[in-house]
Amino acid sequence: MILKLLIADDEQYIRVSLTEDIQWGDFGIQLIGCASTGKEALDLVRLLKPDVLLSDILMPDLTGLDLIKTLREEGIQIPVIFLSGWSNFEYAREALKFGASNYLLKPCPDEEIIEALLLIKNDRVSQEHSKSTRAAEYEIQSNKHVIKLACEILHQELGNDSTLTTIATKVNMNPSAFSRLFHQEMGCSFKKYVTSVKINKAKKLLLESNLKVQHIAEYLGYVSTSHFVQVFSKSTGMTPGAFRENQRM
């Protein structure tokens, strides 16, 4: 991840030093701009949308404190590190009040500036990782919910039009995407699952009712009794009639 940095300082030698003396790319940081006034810094933040602002406190036309206050009022919550030659406690307190990430005193070693920026970079990476994890967890739960709903619909309408396309439509999914998701979540194809559900229901009806095989086939939505017998026999190794007799003996 690259951290986009904007620098704001009215002292030219400091801008030059920060621009030329530090190899930002070595730390995964990209310097995208420098401002010499607070107003210019505000305009550049709005335009360039940096990930972090390294700013002086006392600058012409708009102080660093006024700058961060304006940013917060506009809903711009980028981290701000203040780099100041003033150790005034009130400045530091005000900076922290508006959510400044750090307050460094000049002259400040490059290593200290880099360390402060890397803390922000690492925190950003952690936040993005957590966000990705939450998004993945949400997708997993959403997928499980869709498949659970699909199975409930299937059981309720077992003898009706329970084709893949029909069920996919009822859970608001494209049939192809639904087919892939179903196989991913259930470990078998939709067709195989439907057959399994129908055979289990057929077994229950054969054992707990006196319905004829023909009527069970119709109830389960088979187009013909012979097709039902063929599917049942392939699944259980015996015909529906033989299964009923064998289980009732």
Closest CA to 213 of 180, 242, 187: 242
Using one digit for the tens of pLDDT, what is the confidence trace for 184-238?
Answer: 999 999 999 999 999 999 999 999 999 999 999 999 999 899 999 999 999 999 9
* Whether residues 70 and 148 fall in one domain: no
Give me the CATH number covering residue 139. 1.10.10
- Looking at the fold, whether 7 and 75 belong to one and the same domain comes out as yes
Residue 209 lies in a domain: yes
Residue 52: strand, helix, or coil: strand
Average pLDDT, the chain: 92
Q: Looking at residue 249, what is its pLDDT?
A: 63
Domain assignment present for 208? yes
**49: containing domain:** 3-108
In a domain, 54, yes or no: yes
Q: pTM of the prediction?
A: 0.67
Residue 218 DSSP SS3: helix
Q: Are residues 198 and 164 in the same domain?
A: no
Q: Within a domain: residue 123? A: no
- Tell me, yes or no, whether 24 and 104 share the same domain: yes
Asked if residue 92 has pLDDT above 80, the reply is no
pLDDT above 90 (res 247): no
Pair (10, 55) in one structural domain: yes
Res. 87: pLDDT tops 80: no
93 part of a folded domain: yes
Distance CA 241, CA 212 (A): 9
Nearest C-alpha neighbor of 59 from the set 39, 86, 76: 39
Q: Average of pLDDT values for 20-41?
A: 95
Judge whether 119 lies within some domain.
Answer: no
| CA 182 – CA 171 distance, rounded (Å) | 12
Q: What is the pLDDT of residue 156?
A: 87
What is the reported pLDDT for 122? 95
113 within some domain: no
Q: Same domain for 7 and 86?
A: yes
Q: How far, in Å, are 42, 206, 215 from residue 160 at the CA level?
A: 64, 20, 14
Give percent of the chain with pLDDT exceeding 90: 80
For the chain, how many structural domains are there in total?
A: 3
Q: Are 29 and 59 part of one and the same domain? A: yes
Please report whether residue 118 resides in a domain: no
Q: Are residues 8 and 97 in the same domain?
A: yes
Question: pLDDT tier at 161 (50, 70, 90 boundaries)?
Answer: confident
CATH of the domain at 225: 1.10.10.60
pLDDT digits (tens, 9 = 90+) for 110-153: 999 999 999 999 999 999 999 999 999 999 999 999 999 999 99
Position 106 scores a pLDDT of: 84
- The single-letter code of the amino acid at 86 is W
By residue count, the chain amounts to: 249
User: How many angstroms separate the CA atoms of 84 and 248, rounded?
Assistant: 91
**Pick from 150, 175, 191: which residue ends a domain?**
191
Instruction: Assign residue 47 the CATH number of its domain.
Output: 3.40.50.2300
Q: How far is CA 180 from CA 6, 155, 174, 188, in A?
A: 46, 20, 10, 10
pLDDT of residue 88: 67
